[in-house]
Amino acid sequence: MGQGFFQIGVTLCIVIAITPLLGRYMARVFLGEKTLLDSLINPVERIIYKLVDTTPTKDNMSGWQYARAVLCSNIIMGVMVFVLIYFQKSLPWNPLKLAAPTWDITLHTTISFLTNTDQQHYSGETTLSYFSQTAALAFLMFTSAATGLAVGIAFIRGLTGRPLGNFYVDFTRSITRILLPISIVGAIALLVQGVPQTLDGPLKVTTLEDATQYIARGPVASFEIIKQLGENGGGFFGTNSAHPFENPNSFSNLIEIIAMISIPAALIYTYGLFAKNTKQAWLLFWMVFIIYVVLIGVTAIGEYQGNPLVDDPLGLEQPNLEGKEVRFGWSQTALWAITTTGTMSGSVNGMLDSLMPSGGFSTLLNLFLQIVWGGQGIGTAYLFIYSILTVFLTGLMVGRTPEFLGRKIEKREIILASVVLLIHPIAVLIPSAIALTFPKSLAFLIPPPGYTNSPEFHNISRVIYEYASASANNGSGLEGLGDSTLWWNLSTCFSLLMGRYVPIIAILLLAESMRHKQAVPETPGTLRTDSTLFTAVTAGVIVILGVLTFFPVLALGPIAESIKLSTRLK
C-alpha cells in the first residue's frame, strides 16, 4: 500500500514543479515575447502566416470572427480526414490492405478526433492503415488540441481586457512552439523505453507451441505522445495505453501521465501572468489540485480494499486487480483513471469498467464537472466561468453589482455562462434517456462473461458514461456496450458536436463581451477574487452545481451499485 501511494505522491510533486515553468513559457509564447525557439521557429511561422494572409501584429478578431475561423478551419479539416479514411485502401502505408470502415464508423471517427475526443468504436490495428492513423488521426490530434488551446488563450485575453487575438496565429503557435517541440522530445523518450516507430507490417513469429502469431506494430511513439500531450486519448491499438507497445513500463507510464496533465495545469498559471495576479492563479490551481487528490484517494482506496464479493468468500484481503495490467497495479491504474477523466484525455491503462463503484463515481464526476483539469484550453475557460458565476451569486447575496477582474458581470455574461454549463447535461441526458428506454434495440448492452443479465445499475453507468464522455470531449468508455452500431455512432456524434462547438462559441462571445467592458476602480466593497474565502466558495459552487445537475444518474448508477454490493455481503 505504501509503495502505491508513494508513486502517486511522486507524480503529483512533479506536476506541481513543472506548472510554473511551462505556464511561464506558454505566457511568453502567447504574449508575443521572445523564447529560445524563436530563431528556429520564426522562419517557419512566417511562411505559414503568408499562406493564410495574416501576421501576428494585425487582424485582431472579434468573438464572432474568432468562432467563424474555428468552425471553418475545423469543417475543412474534417472533410479532408473523412476522405482520407474513406479511401484508405487506395492510399500508401497499408500493409494489411485494410478497406475503409463503414460510413457511420468513418463519420464518428472523424468527428470524434476533430473535436479532441477520440472516442473509438473500432480497434485501431485491425481497422485503420498506418496512413490513416498518422496523416489523418495524428494530424487531427495536433490540430484539435491547438484549436482548444487557442480558444482558451483567447478567453483569457478577453477576461483580462486584451483583444482576443487572431485564431490562425494562436493555432499556429500552439503547434509550432508548444505541441510539436514537446512531442518530439516525448516521442524520443518513449522510443528509448521500447515504444515502436516503424512502417513495417505486423511481425510474424513462431510461438513455443510451433503456432504462427502476428504481432501488430506501427508508427506508435509519435502517435502516443501527442495522444497524451494534446489530451486526445485515442489508442493506436484497441487496448490503448494498456498495450505494452503503447505503454511498456512504469517510466513510460509516468511520462504519459505527466504529458496528460502538464498543459491544463500550467495554463492556470499562464492566466495568472496575463492577469498579473499569480496569487489568484495559485489559489485556483490548489483548489483544482485538492479536488483531484480527493478523487484519486477515493478511487485508490476503493481499489486497494478490493472486491469483497471475491475476497470475503475466499478469506483474502487483496486489491481489486481485475481489468488491470500487473505492470501498473491498483495505484497507477487509479491515478491514471482520475487523470484521464479529469484532463479529458480519455486514454486508459486498465479497464475503467472494472473499477469499484467508488472509482466509477469519481470518473463520472470528473466528466460532469469538466474542470479537474478540463479539456485542452477549454477546461481552463470552464474554470473561470464557474468563477464568474460565483462572483454573480455572491454579489446577489450582499446586494452589490458583481465584478470580475474589475469588469461588471451583467445579464449577457450570465446568459452566455449558463449556455456553456447547460449544454453539457442536454447533450448527455437526452440521448441517454432514449437509449435506456430501448436497451435491447438501441443500447445493445452486452452482459459480461458469467452473467445471464448484466448488472442493471452498472448498465445505467455505462450508457450515461458513453454520452458524458462524448459531450465532455473525453473519449473513454466503460465498455459493455455494442457501440459500433448506427445508433451509437450517430447519437454520440450529436453529443460530440454539441459538447464541443456550442461552448466554444459561447466562450468566445463571453470573452468579447468582457473585453469591451470599462474597467472600474477597486473600492472597499469590491469582492476580491484572489482570496482563500472566494476560492472556497467557488469550489462549493462547482461541486454543488455539478453534483445537483447529475445527482439522479449518480444515484442510479455508482451509488446504487455500491449500496447493492454492500447489501449482498450481509
Please spell the DSSP secondary structure of 407-445, one letter per residue: EE--HHHHHHHHHHHHHHHHHHHHHHHHHHHSIIIII-B
Q: What share of the chain is helix, strand, coil (3-state, %, to 5)?
A: 65, 5, 30
Q: Does residue 286 form part of some domain? A: no
Q: Return d(Cα 262, Cα 256) in angstroms, integer.
A: 10
Q: Return d(Cα 472, Cα 492) in angstroms, integer.
A: 11
Mean pLDDT value of segment 499-514: 96
Mean pLDDT value of segment 257-264: 96
**Domain match, 393 and 254 both:** no
Q: Does residue 216 form part of some domain? A: yes
Is the per-residue pLDDT at 471 higher than 50?
Answer: yes
Q: Return d(Cα 321, Cα 334) in angstroms, integer.
A: 11
Q: Return d(Cα 500, Cα 472) in angstroms, integer.
A: 8
Mean pLDDT value of segment 437-465: 73
Whether 528 contacts 283, CB under 8 Å: no
Cα dihedral across residues 267, 271, 274, 278: positive or negative: negative
Is the per-residue pLDDT at 562 higher than 80?
Answer: yes
- 407 beta partners: 404
pLDDT at position 270, please?
Answer: 96
Q: Return d(Cα 232, Cα 246) in angstroms, integer.
A: 14
Whether 558 contacts 437, CB under 8 Å: no
Domain boundary at 268, 299, 327, which? 268
Collapsing DSSP states into helix, strand and coil, what is residue 203? strand
Q: At which residue does the C-alpha cell 478511487 appear? A: 299
Amino acid at site 494: F
Is the per-residue pLDDT at 333 higher than 60?
Answer: yes
- The alpha carbon of 342 is separated from its chain's Cα centroid by a whole number of angstroms, namely 7
Compute how many other C-beta atoms are within 10 angstroms of the C-beta atom of residue 569. 9
Q: Does residue 455 form part of some domain? A: yes
Mean pLDDT value of segment 177-188: 96
Cell (9 digits) for 412: 449577457
- Pairing of β 403-404 and β 407-408: antiparallel
Give residue-wise pLDDT tens across range 192-201: 999 999 999 9
Domain boundary at 268, 300, 322, which? 268
**Domain match, 245 and 382 both:** no
Whether 438 contacts 422, CB under 8 Å: no
**Domain match, 99 and 235 both:** yes
Domain span including residue 43: 31-268
Mean pLDDT value of segment 445-450: 56
Q: Return d(Cα 402, Cα 227) in angstroms, integer.
A: 40
Q: Does residue 472 form part of some domain? A: yes
DSSP 115: T
Q: Return d(Cα 423, Cα 165) in angstroms, integer.
A: 26
User: In which band, very low, low, confident or very high, does the pLDDT at 450 lie, cut at 50, 70 and 90?
Assistant: very low
pLDDT at position 31, please?
Answer: 93
Domain boundary at 268, 299, 315, which? 268
Compute how many other C-beta atoms are within 10 angstroms of the C-beta atom of residue 64. 12
Alpha helix ranges (H) inside 175-219:
180-192
Mean pLDDT value of segment 489-518: 94
Mean pLDDT value of segment 161-174: 94
Is the per-residue pLDDT at 441 higher than 80?
Answer: no
DSSP, residue by residue, 431-494: HHHHHHHSIIIII-B-PPTT-SS--HHHHHHHHHHHHHHHHTT-------B--SSHHHHHHHHH
- 214 beta partners: 204
Is the per-residue pLDDT at 316 higher than 80?
Answer: no
Q: Does residue 395 form part of some domain? A: yes
Mean pLDDT value of segment 369-386: 91
Q: Return d(Cα 465, Cα 557) in angstroms, integer.
A: 10
Compute how many other C-beta atoms are within 10 angstroms of the C-beta atom of residue 121. 21
Mean pLDDT value of segment 489-502: 96
Is the per-residue pLDDT at 208 higher than 50?
Answer: yes
- Pairing of β 212-215 and β 407-408: unpaired
Cβ neighbours for 117, distance < 8 A, ≥ 6 positions apart: 233, 346, 469, 470, 473, 474, 475, 496, 500
DSSP 98: P
Is the per-residue pLDDT at 293 higher than 80?
Answer: yes
Is the per-residue pLDDT at 405 higher than 90?
Answer: no
Is the per-residue pLDDT at 158 higher than 60?
Answer: yes
Is the per-residue pLDDT at 451 higher than 50?
Answer: no
User: In which band, very low, low, confident or very high, does the pLDDT at 277 lie, cut at 50, 70 and 90?
Assistant: very high
| Packing angle of the helix pair 411-437, 456-471 (nearest 10 deg) | 140
Give residue-wise pLDDT tens across range 78-120: 999 999 999 999 999 999 999 999 999 999 999 999 999 999 9
The pLDDT > 90 percentage for the chain reads 70
Cα dihedral across residues 354, 359, 365, 367: positive or negative: negative
Work out the mean pLDDT of the chain and round it to a whole number: 90
Q: Return d(Cα 296, Cα 120) in angstroms, integer.
A: 25
The pLDDT > 70 percentage for the chain reads 95
Is the per-residue pLDDT at 449 higher than 70?
Answer: no
Q: Return d(Cα 461, Cα 471) in angstroms, integer.
A: 15
Q: What angle do CA 497, 351, 98 make, to 5 degrees?
A: 65
Cα dihedral across residues 244, 250, 251, 255: positive or negative: positive
Q: Does residue 146 form part of some domain? A: yes
For the chain, how many structural domains are there in total? 2
pLDDT at position 452, please?
Answer: 44
Cell (9 digits) for 449: 462473461
Whether 288 contacts 366, CB under 8 Å: no
pLDDT at position 398, please?
Answer: 72
Is the per-residue pLDDT at 311 higher than 80?
Answer: no
pLDDT at position 309, please?
Answer: 77
Q: Does residue 163 form part of some domain? A: yes
Amino acid at site 566: S
**Domain match, 406 and 544 both:** yes
Q: Does residue 147 form part of some domain? A: yes
Is the per-residue pLDDT at 479 higher than 70?
Answer: yes
Compute how many other C-beta atoms are within 10 angstroms of the C-beta atom of residue 516. 11
